[in-house]
Amino acid sequence: MSSRTAADTRDRIVMAAKAEFAQYGIAGARVDRIAKEARTSKERVYAYFRSKEDLYAFVARQELAVVAAASRMDPTDLPGYAGRIFDFFLSHPEHHRLVAWGRLELGDNAPAPDDPLMAAVREKTEQLRKAQEDGYLDPSWDPFDVLPLVHQIATSWAAQPELAHVAKEQARTPDAAARRAAIVRAVQLVFPATTRDETASR
Amino acid sequence: MSSRTAADTRDRIVMAAKAEFAQYGIAGARVDRIAKEARTSKERVYAYFRSKEDLYAFVARQELAVVAAASRMDPTDLPGYAGRIFDFFLSHPEHHRLVAWGRLELGDNAPAPDDPLMAAVREKTEQLRKAQEDGYLDPSWDPFDVLPLVHQIATSWAAQPELAHVAKEQARTPDAAARRAAIVRAVQLVFPATTRDETASR
């Protein structure tokens, strides 16, 4: 097997695993279904990933990087960041399920010190702390509260998909653009954006 | 069996089921474990509840009523409401898991028109709409956005338990009272409380 073909196989496994985990969770996922969907064998899956749990950890890590790259946290414009998170989840509803399964199935034990999610949180919190020092963000907030609040507001609809059905029937304006605007407005009220240029030139 | 004993058995089944579902989800829950924990038989469990899914639906409905009673939504004081939701989840972390499993396992199909969660959302949204008419809440919000936003902010820590571990290590003030204050402050910035008395007397 050429290394190109091997890389393709691995990519197909990861893609199939992502869909399988999002749908069924970790315990409910079946490696033979993943193998079949990826047009390979169960044995090949285990050649790349030692266990189903390892495969989940890989997929979850990769997804974390994807959402971080798509949403680009900017401490001077948290409403804009929230809007990008909203957009990401609107077009990738399976991402939220993938993460939610892990939270439930892996429990809330303290993550390992080298856990990539924790490293990402630490790095972003540090950026927020720096933004407070530089006058871009109200320093009276504990910087540690900022990220969880912004993430929660931004995922209001992704996290409560059952409410989207009621929205169709009840909301004054039922489209996604209206939900997005409400999210951006809420974050703007809590953590107003500071235009870097404005601050720099005044 | 006296009716008193029967009611006790049923209560024990429901209590055991709540813990079992919170821990393992619907697919992962075992009726024989629930029966054993409730000091009864699997057959008795099925005499009260036709299926594991029916038992989950019953428990979830009951929990919804419990959280609603404990948090008492007040359209004129949404920050206070958010604080009570925070308190409830702090002392009942299993409640969040119970609901989260259902979201994942039952999928996001449109809920039935008589779904009790949807009925509760409809009723609260109507209260919010009324509060807007009466001048207690900014009418420029789509009333349908208010509840999901308040709920999301209030459950920032319940929904992201993994972050609580980082808080211990990183937050300026790591205790729960600081997290609660940040949540109440965020809701106050988005949906400020209006004191009924003040408005009435002026």
- For A1-42, the pLDDT digits (tens) are 567 777 899 999 999 999 999 999 999 999 999 999 999 999
B160 contact residues in A (CB cutoff 8 A): 103, 148, 151-152
Tokens of A161: 């998909």
The Cα–Cα gap between A61 and A55 comes to 10
C-alpha dist (Å) from residue A14 to A24, A58, B98: 15, 8, 29
The Cα–Cα gap between A13 and B94 comes to 34
B110 vs A151, A165, A172: nearest CB? A165
Residue of A nearest to B94 (CA): A104
pLDDT in tens, B62-99: 988 899 899 999 999 999 999 999 999 999 988 989 98
Q: What pLDDT sits at residue A26?
A: 94
How does B38-73 read in b/e, with b if 16+ C-beta sit within 10 Å? bebeeebbeeebeebeebbbbbbeebbeebbeebeb
pLDDT in tens, A36-62: 999 999 999 999 999 999 999 999 989
Q: Are B144 and B122 in contact (CB under 8 A)?
A: no
The Cα–Cα gap between A36 and A19 comes to 13
Is B14 exposed, middle or buried (CB count within 10 Å of its CB: 0-12, 13-18, 19+)? middle
Judged by CB atoms closer than 8 Å, whether chains meet at B153 and A152 is answered as yes
- State residue B140 phi and psi, 5-degree precision: -80, -15
The Cα–Cα gap between B81 and A90 comes to 28
Helices (H), B42-115: 42-48, 52-71, 78-91, 93-105
Q: Smallest CA–CA separation between B2 and chain A, in Å?
A: 39
The residue behind tokens 């998170």 is A85
Q: What pLDDT sits at residue B202?
A: 38
The Cα–Cα gap between B132 and B85 comes to 22
B61 closest CA partner among B120, B113, B6, B104: B120
pLDDT in tens, B21-56: 999 999 999 999 999 999 999 999 999 999 999 999
- In sequence order, the 6+-apart residues with CB closer than 8 A to the CB of B180 are B83, B86, B87, B90
Here the ipTM equals 0.89
Name which of A52-66, B6-20, B90-104, B158-172 the model is least confident about. B158-172
Residue of A nearest to B167 (CA): A144
B61 contact residues in A (CB cutoff 8 A): none
Q: What pLDDT sits at residue B6?
A: 76
Q: Are B186 and B84 in contact (CB under 8 A)?
A: no
Q: What pLDDT sits at residue B7?
A: 80
Q: Which secondary-structure segment (H or E) carries A197? A: helix A196-201
A144 vs B101, B104, B170: nearest CB? B170
Residue of B nearest to A180 (CA): B145
Judged by CB atoms closer than 8 Å, whether chains meet at A162 and B189 is answered as no
pLDDT in tens, A75-116: 999 999 999 999 999 999 889 899 899 889 987 666 776 788
A172 contact residues in B (CB cutoff 8 A): 142-144
